[in-house]
Structure 1
Amino acid sequence: MTEKKAIVYVDMDHVLCDYATGFARHKAEYPNLAFPQSVPGLYESLDPMPDAIESYMWLHEHSKLDVYVLTAPSIKNPHCYAEKRIWVENHLGMAVVQNLIISPHKHLSKGDYLIDDMPSGKGQDRFDGKLILYGSEEFPNWVSVTKYFKSQIEC
């Protein structure tokens, strides 16, 4: 009998991607726009957060985990859907593109863990599994997240 894999969802903005720096760059390029994120190019050009790529790939390749990128769209910016897909392919590869979920309703995804920087707003507070609050005191960075998962699944 095969052991059931733990399902892990990972957010993009402020978790896998450095949205703050990318937004500041875009705002500087389009200073007169109230919503510079509506201009094509922002999401695709975001830099990865420190250690995000290596940590995500460790999770993704772990035999005891089933890992997905679960990101909420900017629903007023139709470009973000395609750009987030392109970002995933460029930084994580096609195998991860197949595990990309874009939804403004994160609580509808059933699983064991959600790694997100927000405790609420897109259904995180109604997620059935454990919320790993990225950027919190307990999980300030990817090193701490990876260490937590190693302690949970490699014991």
Structure 2
Amino acid sequence: MTEKKAIVYVDMDHVLCDYAAGFARHKAKYPGRAFPQSKPGLYESLDPMPDAIDSYMWLHEHPKLDVYILTAPSIKNPHCYAEKRIWVENHLGMAVVENLIISPHKHLSKGDYLIDDMPSGKGQDLFDGELMLFGSDEFPNWTSVTRYFKTLVGR
């Protein structure tokens, strides 16, 4: 009998992707626009957060973990759905695209861990597993997240 893998969900904006820097660039490109994120190009142009790609891939390839990207869409921007998918393919590959979930209701996904930068707003506060608040004192960056999982499941 095989051991049950822990299910881990990882948010995109402000966790895998540097949304703040990307938004600032997009706002400068469309200065008169109240919601520049509604213009195509923002999401697929975001830079990865420091150490995000290596850390995500370590989690994704770990035999004791089942890892998914769980990201909320910008519901007023239909482009974000495709752009987030493109970003995942460009930075993490097709194998990870198969594990991409885009939902504004994060509490509906059942799992053990949710790595997110927000404690609420998209159902994070109702998530059944452990919410790991990215950017907090406990998990300020990807190094701390990877260290946590290495102690939890081994190298």
What range describes the TM-score normalised by the shorter chain of this pair?
Answer: over 0.9
Q: Which residue of 2 aligns with 1:82?
A: 82
Q: Which residue of 2 aligns with 1:10?
A: 10
Deviation sequence 1:82-136 (CA, Å, 0-9, x none): 0000000000000000000000000000000000000000000000000010000
TM-score (norm 2): 0.99
| Distance in 2, Cα, partners of 1:81 & 1:58 | 25
Deviation at 1:154, TM superposition (A): 1.3
Deviation at 1:27, TM superposition (A): 0.3
* Aligned residue pair count: 155
Q: Which residue of 1 aligns with 2:115?
A: 115
Q: Runs of at least 4 residues of structure 1 off by over 3 A?
A: none
| Distance in 1, Cα, partners of 2:139 & 2:63 | 23
Q: Which residue of 2 aligns with 1:126?
A: 126
Secondary structure at the aligned position of 1:67 is classed as strand
| Distance in 2, Cα, partners of 1:132 & 1:151 | 15
| Distance in 1, Cα, partners of 2:28 & 2:103 | 29
| Distance in 1, Cα, partners of 2:38 & 2:78 | 8
Alignment-mate amino acid for residue 84 of structure 1: K
Q: Which residue of 2 aligns with 1:151?
A: 151
| Distance in 1, Cα, partners of 2:102 & 2:138 | 27
| Distance in 2, Cα, partners of 1:150 & 1:123 | 27
Q: Any unmatched runs of 5+ in structure 2?
A: none
| Distance in 1, Cα, partners of 2:20 & 2:46 | 9
| Distance in 2, Cα, partners of 1:149 & 1:118 | 20
Deviation sequence 1:7-54 (CA, Å, 0-9, x none): 000000000000000000000010000000000000000000000000
